[in-house]
């Protein structure tokens, strides 16, 4: 595989809906979307834990993190903004590692929260680029490994 197969990530995210972590009393579109954002934040916390204490679970944690993000994209009908060409992926892989993983996670949170509260699709897209680059560069997860994990599901 020479590219991250985003379409397969989106398909798997649609097929495997996750249970919500919070009790849902309101079933408005905004609340349902908010639950998807919370689910992404939980997946992010699981990824942070895997980075430090469970490297053997890193691929699965990163995959679930991507799926949670893709579920938001599917709900918002922003999935087309996740598509990446080979040049973009190559550019991500040629970037240097961030000096601070905590800063990267906080920037992701800031952008994702902005996409929720301000309905900002560009912040969402920027967060996606950071997420993909983080997996390829900082976590050193190969496209082949990621593709195999996605197809397992």
Which residues constitute the domain of residue 87? 6-17+24-152
For residue 58, being part of any structural domain is answered with yes
- Output 77 or 14, whichever has higher pLDDT: 77
Q: What is the pLDDT of residue 22?
A: 60
In the chain, the number of structural domains is: 1
Q: Is the pLDDT of residue 103 over 70?
A: yes
Within a domain: 93: yes
Residue 1 lies in a domain: no
Predicted pLDDT of residue 11: 81
> What interhelical angle do 29-53 and 101-117 show, nearest 10?
180
| pTM of the complete model | 0.89
- For 48-97, what is each residue's pLDDT tens digit? 999 988 888 999 999 999 999 999 999 999 999 999 999 999 999 999 99
Residue 61 lies in a domain: yes
């Amino acid at each position: 595989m020479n590219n991250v197969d985003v379409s397969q990530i989106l398909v798997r995210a649609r097929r495997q809906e996750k249970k919500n972590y919070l009790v849902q009393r309101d079933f408005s579109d905004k609340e349902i979307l908010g639950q998807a954002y919370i689910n992404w934040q939980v997946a992010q916390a699981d990824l942070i834990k895997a980075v430090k204490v469970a490297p053997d679970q890193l691929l699965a944690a990163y995959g679930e993190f991507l799926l949670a993000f893709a579920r938001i994209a599917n709900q918002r009908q922003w999935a087309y903004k996740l598509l990446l060409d080979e040049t973009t992926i190559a550019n991500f892989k040629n970037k240097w590692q961030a000096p601070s993983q905590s800063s990267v996670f906080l920037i992701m949170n800031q952008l994702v929260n902005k996409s929720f509260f301000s309905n900002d699709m560009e912040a969402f897209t920027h967060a996606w680029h950071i997420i993909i680059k983080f997996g390829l560069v900082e976590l050193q997860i190969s496209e082949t490994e990621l593709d195999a994990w996605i197809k397992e599901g």
